């Protein structure tokens, strides 16, 4: 279906809801639970989730934790073609409030992302690493890096990356256009937040059962570098939603 059509938006939004529900139910420190990674990444599981998407209503509720207000993302490609996709996060302002010696480096408070529900797979336990939302990406084509990208914004990180990739790889938008295009975000309370550019779709999405809020919320912020497969030319993009820059030197 056409970009930003109601059918396209509904399917993408529902895919995000179902994927995030999988994360909430199954993903944690693999030393403490058998995370079914192969099944989660399989085509069969994708089809199974796809079959749950109905045209007229959301597939289910979403309960997710882990909004991060203080995350930074850096994409780097050097002259030799080495790439790095790097994300760091304090979790909350000033993180834990502790500084590493006299370095000025603040320690994070990612322990806040544990669940205190004893039935949760991500429950707090001694020695356990909590699940986080950090989502640096390197996209390969024929085993060569073609796109280095990532987004800040808590559970909106993967949602923003999904939308950028669909606009770039499926719709053929240049990577700059794909990053700047208006976005949606499924919030932790289950509401569907729309940037102003998608406001015309609000009525139709409401009719399909989404609880829509316009112009408020976190929509992620993607930085990216595209490596041209023919020439090796680098195309750097900084998301205008936040303070950032694309630099070459």
The active-site residue, picked from 28, 61, 67, 71, is 71
C-alpha span between 51 and 240 (Å, rounded): 36
C-alpha span between 70 and 237 (Å, rounded): 20
Residue 145: Cβ within 10 Å count: 17
E runs forming strands in the chain:
71-77, 83-89, 137-141, 144-152, 184-186, 192-194, 212-214, 221-227, 234-238
Interacting residues of 194 by C-beta distance below 8 A, sequence separation 6+: 182, 184, 201, 202, 205, 212, 213, 214, 215
Say if residue 216 is exposed, middle or buried (CB neighbours under 10 Å; 0-12, 13-18, 19+). exposed
User: By the 8 A CB rule, do 236 and 224 touch?
Assistant: yes
71 catalytically annotated: yes
Please work out, in degrees rounded to the nearest 5, the angle formed at the alpha carbon of residue 35 by the alpha carbons of 28 and 46.
110
User: By the 8 A CB rule, do 28 and 122 touch?
Assistant: yes
What residues act catalytically? 71
């Amino acid at each position: 279906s056409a970009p930003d059509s109601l059918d396209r938006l509904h399917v993408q939004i529902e895919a995000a809801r179902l994927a995030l529900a999988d994360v909430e139910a199954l993903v944690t420190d693999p030393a403490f639970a058998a995370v079914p990674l192969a099944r989660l990444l399989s085509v069969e599981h994708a089809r199974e989730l796809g079959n749950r998407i109905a045209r007229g209503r959301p597939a289910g509720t979403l309960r997710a934790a882990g909004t991060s207000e203080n995350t930074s993302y850096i994409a780097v490609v050097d002259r030799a073609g080495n790439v790095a996709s790097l994300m760091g996060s304090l979790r909350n302002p000033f993180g834990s409030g502790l500084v590493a010696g006299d370095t000025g480096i603040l320690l994070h408070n990612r322990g806040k992302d544990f669940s205190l529900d004893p039935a949760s797979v991500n429950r707090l336990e001694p020695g356990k690493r909590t699940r986080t939302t950090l989502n640096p990406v390197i996209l390969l084509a024929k085993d060569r890096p073609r796109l280095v990208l990532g987004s800040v914004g808590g559970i909106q990180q993967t949602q923003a990356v999904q939308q950028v990739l669909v606009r770039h790889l499926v719709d053929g938008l240049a990577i700059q256009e794909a990053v700047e295009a208006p976005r949606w975000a499924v919030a932790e309370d289950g509401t569907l937040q729309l940037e102003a550019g998608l406001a015309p779709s609000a009525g139709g999405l409401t009719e399909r059962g989404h609880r829509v809020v316009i112009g408020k919320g976190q929509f992620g912020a993607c930085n990216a570098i595209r490596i041209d497969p023919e020439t090796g030319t680098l195309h750097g993009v900084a998301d205008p939603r936040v303070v950032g820059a694309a630099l070459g030197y």
